[in-house]
Structure 1
């Protein structure tokens, strides 16, 4: 099946009639639809699914009030203002029927009559102007759902975020099994088995114990069915709330962006800016006072700095000269004679006193002494000390400090100017309050939805725990029931059929599992660019998937591992196939024989064993590649021909693997691949790589002013 064309009108954000040509060729099998978040990309997938399945697209049984409410929310608001409402989605699908290829045009249209919503669904075959009649239409609806059910169709919409938990989470084995059964139509056998079990209730058995066990088994089956149904319903509701939260978050971000574009300043930010202004003004005032003090006290002296140097020299000379004069007068000849009296010969006293006096006076004479020097200032000792201190302060002054003060003063002035500009250009109080109220309302909605989401998440965890417990109880009850039937040699057609159907499902899934493993390794080796990264994938009977790599072990290492951590921990760490290889290499059948065989290994040889690789240790990109490859392997094993719609194909994929995803993955997974991407997901380089495979490309943009999506041909970039 291929979707050749999609037409939308007044559906969600698509107001005008908008057409997407999705036709592809074998060589060019990719259609690229670009758009930013909120532009309307996911609407495309929903429109296709809704057009084909109607109420079943939302898991409703018919045209009920819930479905009507859902459709009303999908109709473009602008169209409701017109005299008549004309809203529809239409698709052209190509289906291979025997040796022919027929094209069906499906159109689902909505109008209002007497304030009530009316839906009209018509189908045209091979461009006929006459639609299928009622009987033919009923047959076609049953036919299309038999070819591809809504559940399977949704599987072909690849969402990396959802599938990460789907294929790696704690219930990944259950999801993998259910996916395989659905894709390969093996779930029909499950439905048949449950029908037989239900019918078997009416059959009476004389053996009371068997009857009790059978009732217990059937009750557990019903309980499990109810839990699975409830889990599916809550999961759908959880996903819907997630979508609503994403829309509200985008709306809030847009509102805040618009608010700031118009000069808006939130009250909290305004208060911070005012506080910052006061702080800066105080700081600037202190700096200004320091500058004034400098100008009053220091600057005049710095201007005449050369004269200050001369003044210092003059004062020093005056001080030295004064001291010299005082000492000179003190150390006269008469003073010396008094000192030496009675200490030397009187006859030579005069001569010696004169000599000593002249020598001392000459010794204390300062270098700067001038015979005719005149003192100008005649300062006191205290005055001289103060003036010398002031002169030293002036001469040692570092102008960097005052220059830094001027620089800081200018910076503060500039910052104050910016703050005042921001405050002066902000919105008026009325507009500010309106924005604040709108943002507060959105925040409240987001808060309520987040709370609901958390409650649903908790409910899902509880239900999934119940499912695991009931599944375990059901399996035990079933085993006991079959065991009692066999031991009592009860020939019961129902039990035989149940066993037969279980065998059929096991046989079919075993073959498909092998095919999935081969498909996975084929595409994984094509995409991954690492040598000796993964050698094998194993999917066991319970659909637990594990990756393995061939590793070398020394026999002594194996002996130490068994002695240190034991068999159970080894199997948990290294995998089931690790022990399968050991048993085969040592030709033993159980664990008790294995250790003895290893200890008696006289060769002490190296062994190549398949060793499990922990997927949780992969990088985000490697996990995404693992999921993509498992997804590809499933689809190839199912042999279903249907368009593959993928949202952001390169999420978390590093640049080195993108080219392989384009050439090996997207070109082979389906004859028709529709990619929904942002400009950051498929950027300009990725666009150049994918360009040769494109048969069509569109760019959709959301017009904020008119609140509608606009479409044009081309992508964000041109090549």
Structure 2
């Protein structure tokens, strides 16, 4: 398959008609240049290119397998260009895709056009080699396209960065398991097998007696009724789930409105008031502790120099008092000594007395002298010294701690007061609170209804299966009673053959897929990445990642880059195993990858992914270095998507964000 042209008319951000040439151009050097590059900033419309291609081919399936018809019409209406003003909005939009496809060894050119109006079902037309296929109605055209390029297969070739991320983060393996089932074509084998089973049952029904035929008819009727009831219950469950989602969005919107009006502060208003009461008590206790410290020895710590002089003066006075006491006692002794010498009237005694007096004066002159300013006792001096040198320091430490705690409490009081001030009055938010409560009640009721509908559907489905088993028992009984016709035997043998063929095909494809994954991963992984192989269970289709030592690797342990490379390798392996020659379209190709992993993809994946590779990139993914130095020889042509903020629309112009240095693309 080769996509030649895409035409957009009033599609999403593209106003008017835009014709986009997607066919890789033949160059004079005859080197294959498979890449068609689109560059655009976020919101410019890159994803619209991929969405338009998928919509043109698959219609309702482009939005998911479970999309209902009315939901599909609503989705189509949102794809019509909005315009700058409501009055400028177009009423109709269209996408047109022209591609070549080799079917049965013959290549044909197809043009599919899908047109729709606001609130209306889309119209679908198909041309083959320029001739309209008017004999096909809408459903037949869509069925033809689905057979031409099955939706499950196209998912392996047309994907975006979100799909890569989804596959990389899928820890259950459900996404990959579904992709493998589609790849193996088991749905076709299952369809053929079911058709043969219907034929066998019809053959058996012709051999039933009257009572058995009546019983079988009643069971078949009951099966149809139960099938219809099951589908109805599931549809109601899906509708209920949609309403739950809508209510959840409304709740989120009202919660945002509540927060915008101070609802977050209102919810904690009572807590803040309680916090203020606690902080005020703490403040009072701290202020009381600070006053007690001020009444104690704390003031001594405020004047260390003066108090040091005071202690020195008190110590000096203690020496003066000691000297005065010593002099007083000695003078009393000398008085007694003089009286005694006078009685003896001895010249020698007088000389001795004078000598002692003179020596005493000289000795006392060396001792401290002065007035006593404080005249405190030695005990009082010791107590004062301990208070100044030890207790005052401890008091200062406690004071500093209390002071810091008080400052922190006052800061918290200011913040709490501000939070209380920000909180609106309860009456202002009452309507929003009531609306939120009502929405929450409705959502809870719908959740219970949703669970009930699923249980009813499960129970009805079980009853349907019971009827099917009863029908099978009737047929088994007939088969044991009657011989088989030739057609009957052939159908039975074909069913058995299909079962064996499905098993053999599964094992062969699984083996090929594992080999292709190993080649793709080796090509894209860095040397320091884990060396992985993929082991796929052919019965459950569970995928296990195994390292070079044969140990199973937990996907949770892979880095974000390794998960991304693993996902791309799986997609490439699935695409190659499918055997389909389809273009590869990648939106946001290098998201969440580091520079080394990006280099691997640029050099070893994009140029060789397919004969036609459409890349939808921002300027930070395929940047100037990749564009100029590494992809130049692989790019056929490039477009830049430019968004105009005034007109709210985008246009395409040839080229990319940067000009090449040697040749223009």
Range of TM-score over shorter length: 0.5 to 0.7
Match of 1:524 among 511, 521, 524: 521
Deviation digits for residues 678-711 of structure 1 (CA, Å, limit 9, x no counterpart): 89988999899986566546679998xx997878
User: Hey, what does 2:346 align to over in structure 1?
Assistant: none
Residue 110 of structure 1 and its aligned partner are, at CA, apart by 0.8
Residue 369 of structure 1 and its aligned partner are, at CA, apart by 1.7
Q: Is the 8 A contact 1:9 1:89 kept in 2?
A: yes
User: Hey, what does 2:150 align to over in structure 1?
Assistant: 149
Q: Is the 8 A contact 1:6 1:92 kept in 2?
A: yes
Deviation digits for residues 331-377 of structure 1 (CA, Å, limit 9, x no counterpart): 66669999xxxxxxxxxxx99xx9xx99xx99x9898522xx22234
SS at match of 2:96: strand
Q: 1:497 to 1:433 in 2, by over 3 A?
A: same
2:373 maps to 1:376: yes
Q: Is the 8 A contact 2:254 2:432 kept in 1?
A: no
Q: TM-score, normalised by structure 2?
A: 0.62
2:664 maps to 1:657: no
How far apart, in 1, do the equivalents of 2:554 and 2:150 lie? Answer: 32
How far apart, in 2, do the equivalents of 1:453 and 1:700 lie? Answer: 48
Residue 151 of structure 1 and its aligned partner are, at CA, apart by 3.9
Q: 1:27 to 1:44 in 2, by over 3 A?
A: closer
Q: 1:170 to 1:631 in 2, by over 3 A?
A: closer
User: Hey, what does 2:608 align to over in structure 1?
Assistant: 668
Q: 1:458 to 1:489 in 2, by over 3 A?
A: same
User: Hey, what does 1:9 align to over in structure 2?
Assistant: 10
How far apart, in 1, do the equivalents of 2:623 and 2:295 lie? Answer: 65
SS at match of 1:135: coil
Structure 2 segments unaligned to the other structure (5+ residues): 25-31, 338-348, 661-665
Equivalent residue runs for 1:45-84 within 5 Å: 45-55=50-60, 57=62, 65=70, 67-72=72-77, 81-82=86-87
2:167 maps to 1:163: yes
Residue 630 of structure 1 and its aligned partner are, at CA, apart by 2.9
How far apart, in 2, do the equivalents of 1:276 and 1:512 lie? Answer: 68
How far apart, in 1, do the equivalents of 2:307 and 2:324 lie? Answer: 25
2:178 maps to 1:191: no
Deviation digits for residues 556-593 of structure 1 (CA, Å, limit 9, x no counterpart): xxxxxxxxxxxxxxxxxxxxxxxxxxxxxxxxxxxxxx
Q: 1:123 to 1:29 in 2, by over 3 A?
A: same
Q: Is the 8 A contact 1:196 1:494 kept in 2?
A: yes
Q: Is the 8 A contact 2:523 2:604 kept in 1?
A: yes
SS at match of 2:198: helix
Q: 1:667 to 1:400 in 2, by over 3 A?
A: farther
User: Hey, what does 2:203 align to over in structure 1?
Assistant: 203
2:120 maps to 1:117: yes
Q: Is the 8 A contact 2:533 2:548 kept in 1?
A: yes
Q: 1:533 to 1:135 in 2, by over 3 A?
A: same
Q: 1:408 to 1:189 in 2, by over 3 A?
A: closer
SS at match of 1:9: strand
How far apart, in 2, do the equivalents of 1:291 and 1:61 lie? Answer: 73
Q: After superposing the two structures, state which structure 1 stretch, 135-144 or 295-304, moved more.
A: 295-304
Q: Is the 8 A contact 1:635 1:669 kept in 2?
A: no
Q: 1:77 to 1:4 in 2, by over 3 A?
A: closer
How far apart, in 1, do the equivalents of 2:494 and 2:375 lie? Answer: 132
Residue 526 of structure 1 and its aligned partner are, at CA, apart by 0.9
2:81 maps to 1:106: no
Q: Is the 8 A contact 2:167 2:175 kept in 1?
A: no
Q: 1:637 to 1:64 in 2, by over 3 A?
A: closer
How far apart, in 2, do the equivalents of 1:57 and 1:377 lie? Answer: 103
Q: 1:393 to 1:437 in 2, by over 3 A?
A: same
Equivalent residue runs for 1:574-653 within 5 Å: 611=550, 613-614=552-553, 616=555, 619-620=558-559, 621-646=561-586, 649=589
Q: 1:422 to 1:678 in 2, by over 3 A?
A: farther
Q: 1:655 to 1:270 in 2, by over 3 A?
A: farther
Residue 178 of structure 1 and its aligned partner are, at CA, apart by 1.9
User: Hey, what does 1:29 align to over in structure 2?
Assistant: 35
Q: 1:376 to 1:497 in 2, by over 3 A?
A: closer
Residue 200 of structure 1 and its aligned partner are, at CA, apart by 0.8
User: Hey, what does 1:178 align to over in structure 2?
Assistant: 181
How far apart, in 2, do the equivalents of 1:438 and 1:716 lie? Answer: 50
Match of 2:531 among 524, 533, 536: 533
Q: Is the 8 A contact 1:6 1:91 kept in 2?
A: yes
Residue 524 of structure 1 and its aligned partner are, at CA, apart by 2.0
User: Hey, what does 1:607 align to over in structure 2?
Assistant: none
Q: Is the 8 A contact 1:539 1:545 kept in 2?
A: yes
Q: Is the 8 A contact 1:30 1:672 kept in 2?
A: yes
How far apart, in 2, do the equivalents of 1:438 and 1:691 lie? Answer: 57
Q: 1:661 to 1:446 in 2, by over 3 A?
A: farther
SS at match of 2:203: coil
Q: 1:534 to 1:82 in 2, by over 3 A?
A: closer
C-alpha RMSD over aligned residues = 7.0
User: Hey, what does 2:28 align to over in structure 1?
Assistant: none
